[in-house]
Structures are given as C-alpha cells and as structure tokens.
Amino acid sequence: MSAPAEPTLPAPYRIVGRRQDSADVFTWTVEPLGEPALTFLPGQFNMLYAYGIGEVPVSISSAAAGEPLLHTIRAVGSVTRPMAALPVGTVIGRRGPYGSAWPLAEAEGGDLLIVAGGLGLAPLRPAILGALARRAQFGRLCLLYGTRGPADVLFADQLAAWRARGDLELRVTVDRATPDWTGEVGVVTRLIARADVDPARTTALVCGPEIMMRFAGEALLRRGVPATAIHLSLERNMKCAVGYCGHCQLGPHFICRDGPVLAWPRLAGLLDVAEL
Amino acid sequence: MTLRELVASQRFCQGLSEGQCGELAACASERQFAPGEFLLRQHAPADTFYWVLEGQVKIRLALPGQGLVTLETLGPDEAVGWSWFAPPYRCQFDALATTPTRTLAFAAAPLRALMERDPTVGCAVLKVLVSTLSERVQSCRLQVLDVYAPPGGRR
C-alpha cells in the first residue's frame, strides 16, 4: 500500500463516532470528506491531525475491509488529551496509511500466535479480523492478551464474540486482579508457554509496551518459534511518517518507513539499549 | 496409566532411569481439587509439592486493608509451591483451585530425603524448581514495572 503523492498533506476526515473503551482509551470512527474510502493493510498507521493542536501517529484498528475506519487512541500526551475532548462531528486531518504490515499472507498454512499487551491489541485487531476472515487458511489461531487490570481490557464485546466462535484460543490475563476477576493473573509473556500451537510452524505477531515485546520475543524463541517468524510492531516519535525527518530512528531503522512491523532478527540487540 | 508412568512422563523426569522415576512415584499421589479448594494455606506447614496436571490454581495473599489479592494463576505443567524445599517449611501464600484441578502431590519429607540420597534426582527436580523460580521472578519484575501504566502515572 503506497502513501499518497503528497505524503505530508492531510485530508479532511470527520469524526462520526466515539466510544470510550477504558478510562483513558477511546475509539474514533472517522469518514473522509470528499475522498474515497481508505485502503490499507493490517498493521499500518495514519497520522491524525487535530487542527490547531497537533499531529500524532495512530495505528488503524478497523478491519481492512467491511468496517468504517477506526482509530483507538490513548489520551496520554499534549495532543491526545485534547483529542479525547473533541466532539463527534469535528473535522480532523488524516494522512497515510504508512509503514509495513503484519505478514498475514506469509503466515498462511501455519499456526498464528498473537500476543497483545495493553493498547497493543488495537493494531493487532485488523490482523485478527483478517485471519478470521480467512480462517481456513490458518492452522491453530491463538490470541494472548495481557493488560493492567480488568477495567483496562479493550474491545470486551469483541473478545467475547471471538471466544464464542470456538476456532480461536483466547487467553486474557491481567497484571493486577480485582476481587471479582475470575480470569488469569500474571504477565502475558507467561502464557506463551501454555499456548496450543506448534512452534516450528507458528508465526507470532506481537504488540505492546516495548519491554513486554522484548520478553515476549525471548519467550517465543524459548518455545521454539523461529526468530524470522516473530514480528513486533514498534512505536516511536514519528513526525513526518515518511522517513524524512529521522525522529523515529531506532538503530539503523526508521520505524515509520521500515516499520512499524519488523521481524525479530532486525531488532535483536536494539530493544535493550537504554540510549535507544 | 500407572502412577509411576504418570510421574515418569513429567518433564522433571527427563533423563532419569525407570528406578529413579519409581522412587519419585513412591513419594507421590494423584490429588484432585474442586474450585475453591485449597492446595496450600499461608503459614501452614509446607509439607507437599504440587505439580499441576490439569486445571488452574491461583496464588493469593491477604493484604491488610485490601483483602485477598491474587498475584498470579498457574496451570498445567507448572509447580505450585517451593516452601517445602527450604526451612522453615512454611507456606508463604495461599494456593487454591479456581477450576477442577488435578495434581501430582509429592510428600515433601520423603522427596527431600530422596533428593539428598540421589543427587541425580535432586538435580532433576531442582532444575525444574530453579527454572520455575526464574520465570516467576522475571514475571514479578514485569508486574512491578507496571508496563501498561500511562507515562508518569505508574504507581
């Protein structure tokens, strides 16, 4: 999927829906004003511009086909906090899609193990929906999702629907349980050893806080998943999103252009360098 | 499957002879727990080493003012409890089944004696225990890091 001819020019989009997913996470439904519906690949991101406030990279959380464009955003910084207060009907700018995608086609024919931490479930959602839409093309399909506490579980209705399908192993764990939580407790990386997949024929897609992804990658390697079959989605300080400015550089990679999805061998040794 | 075969099929028996697996099995029995039933109670004598075959067990701690807090859940192919191995042999946490749970229960005193008597068995059991401890320390560190908290909002 290529970026538009003028890659830094935002197109106007209207916020047509807003859902509060947790205390600080919300999802916008946005529609283009005068341009055709966006085509993108699962794992790619857009730059969203709140006029007069600022611009941030946000992964696309909707299905690649059959859903309106969704962006799930955490109100955490000087741009996303004001964004959280924008009412439905507000016009924003959007440019993209940018970056690399989850290697779903490469994963076909084998098992798919998806490891999500916190808001990392959002960029993985299009991949999960894509795999479910072509369910017969995959072997076992397993989603491991870890988050801080029960109140932080995203897409709860969606998770329930996925669990009800019966053709996807779903395990949800929280780091900090409340007395009424009856699910698993502990970090998501510990679930990797328990996932019902054949490691040698598994492709792993991982997204979450960087430290969680580092330990997930190591747990996947211990389990026997080939390094080349482990893919992480990284987040960095993206500004131009097209590899001009270098703000998002991680070692030899520009995450906006070479990533956000990168295979483990390209990241090994970079995720535990404090200066990066 | 006999008890000896069941014990021999567990990963801590890899590399052990039939005779050694038989000696381990002599310390073991199969025990089942209903949801809500305790495997271990905080402060009680740690006289049993449990190995989960099926089900789920939660490790729980009473915190003054906060009630009972679940620290982690454990599942098949995992060890429950290591206080049985080191003095004063007292459980530090509660462990209770959250689903119907099937375990191998090893009596601690004869197991310790066997490990002293046969260092090969001792090493095999310790390898599993140490790897369990290592995993749990690492997990605990990640939990303490509170990696999902908003920047500046960790607590």
- Give the tens place of pLDDT for each residue, A200-247: 999 999 999 999 999 999 999 999 999 999 999 998 888 888 888 888
Distance of residue B69 Cα from the nearest chain A Cα, in angstroms: 7
For chain A, percent of residues with pLDDT exceeding 90: 76
Q: Hey, are the CB atoms on B146 and A148 less than 8 Å from each other?
A: yes
In whole angstroms, give the CA distance from residue A68 to residue A87.
Answer: 18
Q: At a CB cut-off of 8 Å and minimum separation 6, what does B110 contact? A: B26, B27
What's the alpha-carbon Rg for chain B, to the nearest Å? 17
pTM value is: 0.91
- On whether any CB of chain A is under 8 Å from the CB of B29, the answer is no
- On whether any CB of chain A is under 8 Å from the CB of B19, the answer is no
pLDDT band of B154, cuts 50, 70, 90:
very low
Q: How far apart are the first and last CA of chain B?
A: 49
Q: Hey, are the CB atoms on B148 and A209 less than 8 Å from each other?
A: yes
The pLDDT tens digits for A79-114 are 999 999 999 999 999 998 999 999 999 999 999 999
Tokens 């019966």 found at: A166
- Bridge partners (DSSP) of residue B72 are B59
Of all residues in chain B, the one with the smallest CA distance to A187 is: B139
Closest partner residue to A76 (CB to CB) among B56, B77, B150 is: B150
Which is it for strands A111-117 and A202-207: parallel, antiparallel or unpaired?
Answer: parallel
* Mean per-residue pLDDT of chain B: 92
Q: Hey, are the CB atoms on B69 and A24 less than 8 Å from each other?
A: no
Best mutation target among A21, A184, A214 (most B Cβ atoms within 10 Å) is A184
In whole angstroms, give the CA distance from residue B103 to residue B123.
Answer: 22
Q: What is the DSSP string of A144-203?
A: EEEESSGGG--SHHHHHHHHHHSSSEEEEEESS--TT--SEES-GGGGGGG--S-GGGEE
